[in-house]
Chain A
């Protein structure tokens, strides 16, 4: 941090910080601490007494087949969402950058799903694929595929993946486009003089230059698919059928609010928190100040 001029006042800075600190303490630090505490406790059915059980909640979790299945589901789900959203965003950004003129119109049309709430994205796709009257489900039936996300776990997972990725493509598109337009023309021209065709130029020169943005987007999309997609799941499949779309964040909600198992839910929270902290750490450690737009 640079040397700069400061005001001198003993109490004023504390007053200025107070609102943020109060809200942070009451709604962030306290609940997070309580989650940690609850994760090593077990409560009776009425929530009146709790006893210390050490890591038992965690051991229970990792012996629970449904929880392990949820881990697997989350892995498939978030890798698929991140891959589709990144690949789509990159493809469209590369095309828009190649065209240059007119790409603003494409930009406006492609970015708007980012303004759509994940729950609404879910509802839109859920409707299009509705087995009895959805337009796409009907089309699939016409070509011989019997789509039914209410009964078939694979169909349901595919549905929430598509809805989640659809909403995110425009966001990745914007970042990739900004990155592409920052690539100096001289580099591209030099490669062209050396005889590299546009597609070759893209993979050999331009894409490596985008790697900081790509990495940054991988982290952000992973966080998105882990947490923000709660709305997609809850508004559509509600984790079903038979747990097929029950990703970790949905499971925390289900265990805590529907099954009222506070210790189990808290232990799941702690597992998730550890994952977010790891992701945030990776982001800051390896990204640091290297990404500039």
Chain B
């Protein structure tokens, strides 16, 4: 602080408090609504303090499923979200770590082309190519089948060996279909690449002199060194995975695979005669809880990942 300016300091606190109120208010309203019976919400005025139905509302949403659609218990939805978020996190970390290792520690023909191919995925969010990506997931072997048909290899095989080629691998309504297409983004690869470039060369040389091969160097030296980066990245990837919306909306159409973030839409937009806002808000609070807790508990790691990935 350069000089004493009590009035400005007071003003700054005031503005921040207003900011905190705007930030927290929606959460408070949702929580209050989730603890009342629906009559209290409809008859108005809107209650400002929690009611006495907390246990009833939450246990109904968690274990029986809400009144508005399909009766999917929130425990099922949260488990689906958890599988998806953890799958995306682990998958991305593994795939990116290996790719970045190859790019930084080897010189090989095609390296720049491969790097460029990974790089351009940064420019194509899943939202802009949803129809063809959905096609691919409805048959992952579609591209290969198309390739065979285009090259007439399928006809050749049929004529020569009598095999009718019809490759099919459906990923719709599977966890794999939820996870795999989301793993394919390049941010994590870039982060690892940047970090590897700061690892001193002497470590590589020392490992080599001691007779370690590349895989030994990777698992025994590079992996432990990357501990903090991996932890930080996990935080942000978990949140990213948990909060996915468009993709699960398309791929997981069966209720048993519903994720909790998509489930909220079913409640909110239910065209039912009875509004079930108290249950919808209980589900909203539940859906928000895991990522918010992760952020608040692991703030340091979260910030590191955020600032490093720029995303």
Contact = CB atoms under 8 A, between A and B. Distances in A.
B16 A32 contact: no
B9 A277 contact: no
B20 interface: yes
Given A6-B105, A227-B125, A266-B132, A112 B281 contact: no
Given A31-B129, A38-B132, A256-B131, A5 B249 contact: no
A227 B122 CA distance: 13
B133 to A, nearest CB: 4
Contact of A115 (B136, B208, B268, B295): B295
A119 B108 contact: no
Given A6-B106, A124-B29, A117 B23 contact: no
A242 interface: no
A235 B287 CA distance: 14
Interface stretch (A10-18, A48-56, A61-69, A75-83): A10-18
B98 A19 contact: yes
Contact of B127 (A96, A238, A249): A249
A252 B106 contact: no
B174 interface: no
Given A91-B15, A117-B242, A117-B243, A127 B277 contact: yes
Contacts of B130: 252-253, 256-257, 269
Contacts of B242: 117
Interface in B261-299: 261-262, 264-265, 268-269, 275, 277, 280-281, 284, 287-288, 291-292, 294-296, 299
B117 interface: yes
A190 B83 CA distance: 55
B19 A88 contact: yes
A210 interface: no
A276 B9 contact: no
B209 to A, nearest CB: 11
A116 B99 contact: no
User: Which of A2, A12, A169, A280 has the most chain B CB within a 10 Å cutoff?
Assistant: A12
Interface residues of A, number: 104
Contact of B23 (A113, A123, A192): A113
Contacts of B214: 7, 9, 12
B184 A7 contact: no
Contacts of A121: 26
A109 interface: yes
Interface stretch (B42-50, B71-79, B151-159, B226-234): B42-50
B87 to A, nearest CB: 13
Given A16-B102, A17-B103, A19-B94, A120 B129 contact: no
Given A16-B102, A120-B287, A273-B123, A111 B295 contact: yes
B245 A125 contact: no
A92 B19 contact: yes
Nearest to B30: A124
B90 interface: no
A7 B123 contact: no
B51 interface: no
Contacts of A227: 125, 127-128
A133 interface: yes
A143 interface: no
B24 interface: yes
B265 A119 contact: yes
A99 interface: yes
Contacts of A189: 2
A17 to B, nearest CB: 5
Interface in A81-131: 88, 91-92, 94-96, 98-100, 106-121, 123-128, 130
User: Which of A13, A32, A110 has the most chain B CB within a 10 Å cutoff?
Assistant: A13
A273 B265 CA distance: 27
B131 A24 contact: no
Interface stretch (B56-64, B160-168, B302-310): B302-310
Given A7-B105, A92-B19, A110-B20, A115 B131 contact: no
A130 B277 contact: yes
A96 B14 CA distance: 11
A18 to B, nearest CB: 8
Contacts of A119: 243, 245, 261-262, 264-265
Interface of A: 1-2, 4-10, 12-14, 16-17, 19-21, 23-32, 34-35, 38, 88, 91-92, 94-96, 98-100, 106-121, 123-128, 130, 132-135, 138, 166, 169-171, 174-175, 178, 188-189, 192, 198-199, 216, 220, 223, 227, 230-231, 234-236, 238, 249, 252-253, 256-257, 262, 265-266, 269, 272-273, 276-277, 280, 293
16 contacts: A14-B108, A19-B95, A20-B184, A21-B118, A32-B132, A38-B132, A95-B19, A110-B23, A117-B245, A119-B262, A127-B29, A133-B46, A134-B46, A135-B29, A174-B307, A276-B125
Given A20-B96, A276-B128, 16 more contacts: A6-B106, A7-B106, A13-B108, A19-B94, A28-B121, A92-B19, A95-B12, A99-B13, A109-B20, A115-B288, A123-B284, A171-B306, A174-B303, A234-B249, A235-B264, A253-B127
